[in-house]
Amino acid sequence: MAKLTRRYLDYNASTPLHPCLDRKWPQFAKAFANPSSLHESGRVAREAIESARETIASFISASPEQLVFTSSASEANNQVIQWVFDHHGPDAHVIISGLEHSSIREPVSYIQSQGVQVSIIEPDTQGRICVDDIAAAITDQTRLISVIWANNEIGTIQPIPEILALAQKNNIPFHTDAVQWLGKYEINLQTLDVDFMTLSGHKCYAPKGVGALYAKDPIGLTPFIRGGNHERGLRSGTENTMAIMAFAEVLAHTDPSALEAHIRPLKSQLVDQLSERISDYYLVGNQSHCLYNTLAFGIQGVDAQALAMNMDLLGIDIATGSACSSGATEPAHSIKAIRLPKSQQNEVVRLSLGQFTTAEDIEMSLAALSQSADQIRHA
């Protein structure tokens, strides 16, 4: 039997490594020593990390000292939420959106169990947060507003500049999870003056195991992991030097405008031909405010899990929700948040495109979607 040529349409879950890294691993491997060591080998590793910090900071128009390297974006999100409790205790009030990643929702739920008051602002039925709803939730005790820049499951983009302006007007620290934004769009923290921003390597063609937290004023940040003086005392644990170097190398080779120019026509091809190939489909989310690489939709009467399994057998990788919830039979959190009818909540799939997606991938995926939907409907 001929081996399947796999078509990968799950870039929001994770990305392949950027080709620029192929020739770099031997060079990265030379920085093997503990970067906290005082000998020459340690200094080589330390210099590599600090050079990478400068590159990543430059990519988002920040200062190097404002970046703290972490093991993941999930860790960085947890650190921000823990900072609220460490500084303000159980008397604090926190506002988050109903579309946040579980690495925001669950630590917020924990500090809520310790007495912190929490307001969750639900989106409209297209997945957009209303700024007025956030304004109405603000109290004298509000110590953080956290809103994800773009949701990973349905791709909806939030009005972050407007929410930030509201937070600044009320002297409230603001955090955004920019994991799905980094690399796809420009980030300029000189003009978007957020207090905290979360970044991830493996969502933009770098390895897993590296993330970063931007803190406008890192002096006030408290460590989430203790037990050493790494990252200027803000994150204990020996740094993942090779992954950090790779993260910086990838961003140095990233051109968001060029990536958008490649992907946007492919998404248009997907949307245009979907109506020709598939009957009774419906789009999910706000199509006017959506990541240019992401399409969430459902097919009436076709179970998403069954559809994804059929597509897998045909060599095409798609998602039914967040990879962090894989294996769960419950609809993705964002699907519940936008209040889709229950009959549709288990029908939604997500296709997310990336740097290596081709027009042939789209064509083959559309054919497989049509075939799979027909098989499931007539089973």
Give the tens place of pLDDT for each residue, 289-311. Answer: 999 999 999 999 999 999 999 99
Read off the pLDDT of each residue in 259-282 and give the average, rounded to a whole number.
95
With respect to residue 372, please indicate whether it lies within any of the assigned structural domains.
yes
pTM above 0.85, yes or no: yes
Read off the pLDDT of each residue in 312-318 and give the average, rounded to a whole number.
97
- Report the alpha-carbon distance of residue 216 to residue 61 in Å, rounded: 12
Say which CATH number the domain at 221 has: 3.40.640.10
Nearest to 137 by CA among 118, 165, 111, 124: 118
With respect to residue 208, please indicate whether it lies within any of the assigned structural domains.
yes
Q: How many domains does the chain have?
A: 2
Nearest to 278 by CA among 373, 211, 365, 167: 373
- Report the alpha-carbon distance of residue 241 to residue 72 in Å, rounded: 14
Confidence of residue 3 (pLDDT cuts 50, 70, 90): low
With respect to residue 1, please indicate whether it lies within any of the assigned structural domains.
no
Confidence of residue 378 (pLDDT cuts 50, 70, 90): confident
Whose tokens are 């650190």? That residue is: 79
Residues 55 and 166 placed together within one structural domain of the fold: yes
List 130, 204, 290, 324, catalytic entry: 324
| 128-164 as b/e: b if 16+ CB within 10 A | bbebeebeebbeeebbbbbbbbbbbbbbbbbbbeebb
- Report the alpha-carbon distance of residue 295 to residue 353 in Å, rounded: 9
Q: Are 331 and 348 in contact (CB under 8 A)?
A: yes
Residues 243 and 278 placed together within one structural domain of the fold: no
Predicted local distance difference test score (pLDDT) of residue 219: 84
With respect to residue 63, please indicate whether it lies within any of the assigned structural domains.
yes
Residues 246 and 341 placed together within one structural domain of the fold: no
What are 134-148's pLDDT values in tens digits? 999 999 999 999 999
Q: Assess whether 290 carries a catalytic annotation.
A: no
366 is in which domain, residue-wise? 7-12+255-377
What are 180-221's pLDDT values in tens digits? 999 999 999 999 999 999 999 999 999 999 999 999 998 889
